[in-house]
Amino acid sequence: MALLHTLVLAAASLALVPQDDPSTPPADPAPADPAPAPADPAPAGDTTGGNDLKSVDAPAATPEAKPLKPFSLARTGGNRPGKSPHAADMQLSAPPKVYVIPIAGQMGTDIHGNIDGKPSIYDKIIADVRAQNPDIIVFRVNSGDDRSPDKYMEAVRAQMKDDKIDPRRLASGLTEYRDLALKLHTDLDQYPAVVYVEDARGVASLFALAWPYMYMAPDGKIAGLDIVGSLGGGNDADIRAKMFGAWTGIAKGVLELGGHPNQLTDSLVRPDRLLSCDIDGRVTRWRDDTNGDWYVVDQSPEQSARFTSKVAEETGLADGVAVDLNDMMGLLGYPEFVEVKSGQKIFDDYNALWRKRYEEVKKLIDEYRQEMEDARELPKRKQMLEKIRQMAKQYPPLARTLEWRFGLTDAQLQVLIEQLNEQIKEYQRQKRGTGGGSGGGGGGGGRGPMGPGPGR
């Protein structure tokens, strides 16, 4: 039995050796293996989920001894904020009830906070969480800014480049994400929470790191927060300089909710900052240089730090790598659990509905842009705009998409409707004066973001 115990200690030591990775390894030789685990360790196992190692039974003469814990660079529950979701800390008497909250899709549309004072879908999800009263909350993050069919962020960047976006509006967008993260923390802080990152590129990285307990999918990435520093865009150097500090400060505030230190948060949002780390026992000490003896994560002054799942696990940023929810719950110590799926359904139903309305709006816009035969079509055109405006008011993500894709705001729609009202009145006056008739063309107006429309 002593020989078997020695072999397990040797296997735990070998787990310390970092594997090949796209991140640049330090120039110095790899650090020596740390001292063996203490005599009071946890069950042996493979933290990557690749092997199924069985725990070692304690000798009969010393029944108080425990099997060895699997080695992990993830921070322990004792030195991070929030309630631990780990089975060893929760000590539940039955399989946990797990509520999944999706943070998935487009930033700003599928994922958004309150817009113009209107509640977001997350308000409804929070109410459902309280009604379901789960044991654990899982935030499932899966968002890459440029993957949507309509290229929402591509439109945003194009307008930034052309100085067509008010910087204050961009700042309010970051503030919106910060407020959403704060709301999820504040309203749900009584529940232990863990993040499962399938993909987090761009602003979505804020949510990946807004909680202290985090696992990643094998192909998951955390990258692209340098977009925060570039949001000023355009050609006004004074505005860029003034807003850079404010916006990076907002982003760092969200990251600090997860208990992350300045060296890490700076490197994630500022391309000019470097990042490496030392390992002190099981604690990761982040550095704002490339002199770390464990990993050099970012040595480029031109891009912000980015993490694959492998680097995140080996540096302790992530608690581990999990294939799916079942795998992650197993790593947390729960061979069985009950998944509450109502939050996913609330999220999916709402986003499917506003996207359906968006398709209807696009058809209305195409029809509106067609050449008008005569002024008798003016009331029909007005009805189109009124319907578009009504749907945009009902679905804030739709309103935001119309603004980015077509340059249409509620105020602009209102102006177009008023212009049509004037044209309708003029047509009616002409009709009374001439005793009827087709009325000819529709006169001027109706141009702007909607295209030709009436009176082309």
Q: How far apart are alpha carbons 378 and 366 in whole angstroms?
A: 16
**pTM of the complete model:** 0.74
**What percent of the chain has pLDDT above 90?**
49
Whether pLDDT at 348 is above 90: yes
Q: How far apart are alpha carbons 197 and 203 in whole angstroms?
A: 13
Whether pLDDT at 383 is above 90: yes
Question: Structure tokens of 76?
Answer: 């322990």
**What percent of the chain has pLDDT above 70?**
69
State the amino acid at position 263 in one-letter form.
Q
334-347 burial code (b ≥16 CB/10 A, e <16): beebeebeebbebb
Those residues with Cβ within 8 angstroms of residue 241's Cβ, 6 or more apart along the chain or in another chain: none
Those residues with Cβ within 8 angstroms of residue 392's Cβ, 6 or more apart along the chain or in another chain: 361, 398, 399, 402, 408, 410, 413
Count the helices and strands in the chain (H runs, E runs). Answer: 15, 11
Return the H-helix or E-strand segment holding 194.
strand 193-201
More confident residue, 343 or 159: 343
Give 106-149 pLDDT, tens digit per residue: 888 899 999 888 899 999 999 999 999 999 999 999 997 554 44
**pLDDT (0 to 100) of residue 137:** 98
**Highest mean pLDDT of the ranges 195-199, 254-258, 400-404:** 195-199
Give 300-315 pLDDT, tens digit per residue: 888 889 999 999 999 9
Question: Structure tokens of 256?
Answer: 């600090």
